[in-house]
Amino acid sequence: MTTEWDKYQELVKEQMSKHFTEPYIKHSMEPKNVGDMENANTYISVLGSCGDSMELWLKVKENRIIDAAFMTDGCGATIACGSILTEMAKNKTLGEALAISAKTLIEALGGLPEGHTHCAGLASLTLKKAVLEYMNMKKEPWKKVYTESEKRHNPIRVDETEEL
């Protein structure tokens, strides 16, 4: 049965399709891998120069990312980037994940709205920081004493425009 909400969603998609690409609409309106993750190996919180943040959880096994999840308080472009980023990161080795750039995300989404390319930079930098965090934890396991809540309240500040 088609509900009023379904009709509304269809209308929004129809309007959006006049301005945005299919993958962008899909990942911004129905994002994948949103929410926190239990038993993650790594958690990171990053704050961009635009004032928006992204959190990322990774499950890593034998140097391969087996699961990824994100949260953001950012714009629709950031949601789309977080969604496609987490999809792309899965099953990648840590080295392969480090190679996912802002440009990779923008291309995979078929472009981003004008003025929002830096949102891809926030997402790709968050993944890079998460991979580095995982590596640091392996070298210095005592760092596990820093809780998720402490990290959330002290996000790593980045200039996401440097990724472009």
Least distance CB 41 / ligand FES (angstroms): 25
Residue 60 or 81: the one with the smaller Cβ distance to ligand FES is 81
**Binding ligand FES by CB under 6 A: which of 28, 33, 42, 78?**
78
Which amino acid would we find at residue 91? N
**Binding ligand FES by CB under 6 A: which of 29, 50, 135, 137?**
50
On the 0-12 / 13-18 / 19+ scale of CB atoms within 10 A, 44 is buried
Query: Candidates 69-77, 102-110, 133-141, 148-156 — which segment interacts with ligand FES by CB under 6 A?
Result: 69-77
**Binding ligand FES by CB under 6 A: which of 119, 125, 127, 131?**
119
**Binding ligand FES by CB under 6 A: which of 27, 52, 70, 128?**
52
**Binding ligand FES by CB under 6 A: which of 75, 84, 109, 158?**
75
Beta-bridge mates of residue 64 = 61, 93
Least distance CB 100 / ligand FES (angstroms): 17
**Binding ligand FES by CB under 6 A: which of 60, 77, 85, 106?**
77
Under the binding rule (CB under 6 A), the answer on residue 116 touching ligand FES is: yes
Please state the three-class secondary structure of the chain as a single string. CCCHHHHHHHHHHHHHCCCCCHHHHHHHHCCCCECCCCCCCEEEEEECCCCCEEEEEEEEECCEEEEEEEEECCCHHHHHHHHHHHHHHCCCEHHHHHCCCHHHHHHHCCCCCCCCHHHHHHHHHHHHHHHHHHHHHHHCHHHHHCCHHHHHHCCEECCHHHHC
How many residues bind ligand FES, per CB under 6 A?
Answer: 10
Interface with ligand FES (CB under 6 A):
48, 50, 52, 74-75, 77-78, 116, 119, 122
